[in-house]
A = this chain, B = another copy of it.
Amino acid sequence: MKVLSKPSEYGLRALMFLVTKGEGKGYVNIREMAEELDISFHFLTKILQSLTQAGFLVSSRGPNGGISFARNPQQISLLDVLYVLEGQDFLSKCLLGLPGCGDFAPCPMHNSWAVMRVQLRNLFEHTNLSEVGQSVQLERLRLSP
């Protein structure tokens, strides 16, 4: 069961990295970041661009440029980020991959699954980047499972 796509996974890892490594500093260099997280620089760049466009990050070109949070990471929920990286519908799919039959003839799992999706949504909504970033150790961010 795959919850997140690789781009989402990398995006979150980068944001978590930024929480701990970006404290105090101004901008964090993307190239260094890519190296420390063991992610392709160009690939990471694209992901971060979408996060900048979405307003989570601000970027600066030129020497000592890089990215930085546009607002306090305590005020960015994982749900906000995942809506951008996964799309708005990432929590609204049928458990079995069938076309939506739930409204008229729900299978025995439909309602339970709907509840779980809400729970998951709440979990992502009430977890902010700051807290996950602080709780996951840096070394873990560069190891892929």
Contacts and interface: CB of A to CB of B under 8 A. Distances in A.
B90 A108 contact: no
A78 B107 CA distance: 13
Interface residues of A, number: 43
Contact of A145 (B100, B113, B141): B100
B145 A86 contact: no
Contact of A1 (B90, B101, B106, B137): B90
A103 B109 CA distance: 30
Contacts of A6: 97
A103 to B, nearest CB: 12
A97 B137 CA distance: 14
Oligomer: number of copies: 2
A108 B131 contact: yes
Nearest to A133: B107
A28 B142 CA distance: 50
Contacts of A93: 1-3, 145
A9 B97 CA distance: 6
Contacts of A9: 96-98
Closest 9 CB pairs of A and B: A9-B97, A99-B145, A107-B135, A99-B143, A101-B140, A107-B132, A108-B131, A1-B90, A112-B123
Interface of A: 1-4, 6, 9, 12-13, 78, 86, 90-91, 93-101, 105-109, 112-113, 116, 119-120, 123, 127, 131-132, 135-137, 140-141, 143-145
